[in-house]
């Protein structure tokens, strides 16, 4: 099977495999692009990035001396700050920060009329790692809209009333790969659930423990 064919299957089925990582579960649910083959090409790029283990996209070329300033993350002291940190880690991209953001028991779920696909913590971290190693990607923009549009909800899991939820009504993603811009967006809400860890009175850290989307809108 060719790499291009395999990339198409990954993009359509969103199947989890240990070495072939398509765009993240929140990335290509609904593709707004004139040429789907270019989106398949991006998936192939990420497959190649994982298999070949290319260098970090922010690493300087040999012979160049550049000062790389790492991103500044907010304290993970409330769910909104965790979401803000997630967007920063995705855009830079930073798989080490992703390890901090995801709870060990994380489970992501994408539901559509045809299928339900799940995503593990390891999968999400591997995806950001693939973006990090893709040498031709120059910039990534992930937007969840103004924070005022984020809806804070109580836990919908009776066994974990301590969890918090945020529902994001829409999202937008741009990835600049060389001379090509890949763009995706959706108005299907996505919901993040967060689990607290209390280390001392007044000292609580939050992590992403659930992510869910229900695909209903057309492409």
pLDDT, tens digit (0-9, with 9 covering 90-100), for 51-65: 343 333 334 444 554
| Contact status, residue 76 vs residue 159, Cβ threshold 8 Å | no
| b/e sequence 47-81, b meaning 16+ C-beta within 10 Å | bbbbeeebeebbeeeeeeeeeeeeeebeebebbbe
Residues 85-124 have pLDDT tens digits of: 999 999 999 999 999 999 999 999 988 888 898 999 999 9
Residue 16: count other Cβ atoms within 10 Å of its Cβ.
19
Residue 28, number of CB atoms within 10 A of its CB: 20
Confidence of residue 67 (pLDDT cuts 50, 70, 90): low
Q: Give this prediction's pTM.
A: 0.71
217 or 138, greater pLDDT = 138
């Amino acid at each position: 099977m060719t790499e291009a064919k395999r990339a198409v299957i990954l993009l359509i089925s969103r199947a989890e495999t240990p070495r072939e990582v398509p765009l993240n579960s929140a990335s290509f649910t609904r593709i707004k692009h004139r040429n789907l083959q270019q989106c398949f090409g991006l998936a192939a790029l990420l497959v190649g990035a994982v298999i070949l283990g290319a260098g970090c996209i922010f690493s300087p070329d040999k012979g160049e001396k550049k000062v790389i300033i790492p991103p500044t993350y907010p304290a993970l002291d409330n769910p909104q700050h965790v979401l803000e940190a997630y967007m920063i880690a995705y855009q830079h991209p930073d798989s080490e920060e992703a390890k901090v953001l995801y709870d060990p028991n994380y489970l992501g779920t994408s539901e559509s009329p045809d299928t339900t696909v799940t995503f593990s913590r390891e999968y999400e971290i591997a995806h950001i790692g693939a973006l990090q190693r893709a040498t031709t990607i120059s910039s990534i923009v992930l937007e969840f809209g103004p924070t005022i549009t984020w809806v804070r909800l109580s836990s919908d899991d009776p066994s974990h009333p301590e969890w918090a939820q945020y529902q994001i009504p829409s999202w937008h993603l741009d990835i600049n790969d060389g001379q090509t811009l890949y763009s995706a967006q959706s108005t299907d809400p996505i919901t993040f659930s967060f689990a607290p860890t209390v280390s001392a009175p007044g000292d609580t850290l939050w992590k992403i423990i659930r992510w869910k989307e229900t695909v209903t809108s057309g492409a």
